[in-house]
């Protein structure tokens, strides 16, 4: 009788432990995939944000000669703001 009781306890413990390990493995794998997807999404958003935040390329013809560059920052900013146009709501959506 003692031997059968010990076998039953070991069987229950084995089944429970295998089930628990399988469940933990599944949850770990699922969370790993979710974390990887979140990281990819964050990197993509960062890449898109950084490319959108970059300054638009100025044509080479509009860049002044090195000697003509104003040393006073106020004149430089005034010259840059003179041609600035705010984006329309249509442009902001795209």
Domain boundaries, the chain: 2-53+69-93
Of residues 39 and 54, more confidently modeled: 39
Per the listing, tokens 């970059």 go with 54
Rounded to whole angstroms, the Cα distance separating 72 from 78 reads: 10
Please compute the mean of the pLDDT values over residues 61-67 and round it to a whole number. Answer: 54
pLDDT of residue 9: 94
- DSSP letters for the chain: -HHHHHHHHHHHHHHHHHHHHHHHHHHHHHHHHHHHHHHHHHHHHHHHHHHHHSPPPPPGGGSPPGGGS-SSHHHHHHHHHHT--PPPHHHHH-
């Amino acid at each position: 009788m003692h031997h059968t009781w010990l076998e039953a306890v070991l069987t229950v413990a084995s089944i429970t432990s295998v089930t628990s390990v399988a469940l933990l493995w599944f949850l770990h794998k699922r969370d790993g995939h979710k974390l990887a997807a979140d990281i990819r999404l964050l990197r993509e958003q960062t890449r898109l944000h950084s490319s959108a935040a970059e300054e638009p390329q100025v044509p080479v013809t509009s860049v002044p000669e090195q000697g003509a560059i104003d040393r006073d920052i106020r004149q430089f900013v005034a010259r840059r703001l003179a041609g600035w146009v705010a984006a329309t709501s249509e442009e902001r959506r795209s």
